[in-house]
Chain A
Amino acid sequence: KNLEEFREAMGIMQHHDAVTGTEKQKVANDYARILYKNMYQGDDIVSSSLSKWILKNKNENSSPVQFHSCLELNISSCTYTEENTNFVVTLYNPQSQPVTTYVRLPVQGQSYSVKDSTGTEQKTQIVPIPTPVINIPGRKSKATVELVFAAIKIPALGYQSYYISENNAAQHVHLSHATINSSM
């Protein structure tokens, strides 16, 4: 049912007014509603797929894992990374070739440990979220900084997970302000 509704939404979004933004405002609002609802339902589809995939290699008694996506990462806002001190980030690579990419997650803490599945500690950096972004109307987020790390070689059409935990002591803080310099 979720998939069927998702497909219907994608069908509606192919109308030329939806693509170019030449619809009336109330229609635009309705498109946004349809898209939001179905992206959210799409989340359930992906979550159950990833969960089955991951549990395939575990014993049958393992409980399913819940995966949440953050639709407001574009404004540096994500409840799950902001409110939790320990969380797992799973990156699914939709490309047919391995991808190395930088991951940015809005957080509240000042120091985090990021480990891949083999326990290898990843290099991290904490960068402040710019004030104009923090002040975006409607942005309900406690995050003032972003945690940055590199996800190396996520397999093609596959996933890679990282275990992230907040460090108690402010260790490995790579936050530096250089407001006096005018060049980079």
Chain B
Amino acid sequence: DSALFNITVNGNGNVIVQDKHQDIEYTQSFHYYEGAEGNNKVFLNRSSGAYIFRPKTSDIKNLTNTGSHKIYKGPLVDEMHITINDWISQVVRVYNKENFLEFNWLVGPIPVGEHIGKEVITKYSSNLKTNKIFYTDSNGREMIKRIRDFRPTWDVKIAEPVSGNYYPVTSKIFINDKKRSLKLSVLTDRSEGGTSLRDGEIELMVHRRLLSDDAFGVGEPLNEEAFGTGLETRGQHYVIGGRASDVSSIVLKEKKLAQKLALRPWTFITPVEDITFEQWS
């Protein structure tokens, strides 16, 4: 009864989280977009690349879960190690008495054997009613209100419904349900692209591997390799839910968490093989 979270993994490898104290439920899942590949001769036929995110279609592709999961519990941290397939895995962590979840993802090398570039996203789908509104930060300063398919200063017609709604997320993206006074935030450990394409959802792009240049100047496809294969990337998302009515409390918690992610203590090691604790002390 005292547990803060109930966390389950379903048959698709998706993580289902019940934040028991905040009455928020969300599912975290991985998907990918296929990168558009054009001839780069006219603007509307440009490929997805280093400068632009342009998926071939608006549909996200689901992954087949061929992996497994294991749970490790201890006095300081409970962890769920989830392998989804050969190139996506993650650790979901709950530290003792902490009210947030850490998603520690590892993505790559993205397979491009069938010559299709992929842009991998992770999605947090909640039960919040958000009415097309979400918020992203601005270089870690103020939060900017974003409305899906809308621009505040002109009448916009979004031609590309996915990339047209993607915004930079320097360190934080959140949604809230005004009626229920609930808020769900995702804090990132690096700059990522993010959006909310459906009410209650937060989507963040975590890795990309593309096979064509986008003709914006770099002259190379975004296809980095190391050790003869595509790159692997490991990063973290902190997910925290809370009562939006309790503004000062949740803002303070999120601020502290964001600072923890961005300004972590520096770790230095000194080997002391021949020195006892008493001597060191």
Contacts and interface: CB of A to CB of B under 8 A. Distances in A.
Range of interface residues on chain B? 35 or more
A151 B268 CA distance: 14
Given A115-B277, A133-B234, A184-B78, A91 B265 contact: yes
Contacts of A128: 72, 81
A112 to B, nearest CB: 13
Given A67-B268, A88-B269, A127 B220 contact: no
Interface string B221-232: 010101111001
A67 B270 contact: yes
Given A132-B89, A137-B227, A174-B75, A23 B218 contact: yes
A86 B220 contact: no
Nearest to A47: B268
A41 interface: no
A92 interface: yes
Interface string B59-78: 00000000001111111111
A22 B74 contact: no
A143 interface: no
A177 B72 contact: yes
A176 B270 CA distance: 30
B205 to A, nearest CB: 13
Interface in A45-96: 46-47, 50, 65-70, 73-75, 78, 80-81, 83-95
A174 B74 contact: yes
Contacts of B78: 184
Contact of A179 (B71, B106, B109, B264): B71
Interface in B223-263: 224, 226-229, 232, 234, 259-260, 263
B72 A91 contact: no
Q: For chain A, what secondary structure do more than half of its interface residues adopt (helix, strand, loop), or is it mixed?
A: mixed
B159 interface: no
Interface residues of A, number: 73
B266 A91 contact: yes
B281 interface: yes
A31 interface: no
Contacts of A93: 265
Contact of A163 (B217, B232, B267, B277): B277
Nearest to A172: B75
Interface in A25-56: 25, 28, 46-47, 50
Given A136-B106, A137-B109, 10 more contacts: A28-B224, A68-B268, A73-B267, A89-B268, A119-B277, A125-B75, A130-B106, A148-B76, A154-B265, A179-B71
29 contacts: A20-B50, A22-B218, A24-B218, A68-B270, A69-B266, A73-B267, A84-B271, A86-B275, A87-B270, A87-B271, A88-B280, A89-B268, A91-B268, A94-B263, A99-B260, A101-B264, A103-B267, A126-B74, A127-B74, A130-B83, A137-B229, A177-B71, A178-B73, A179-B71, A181-B71, A183-B7, A184-B8, A184-B73, A184-B80
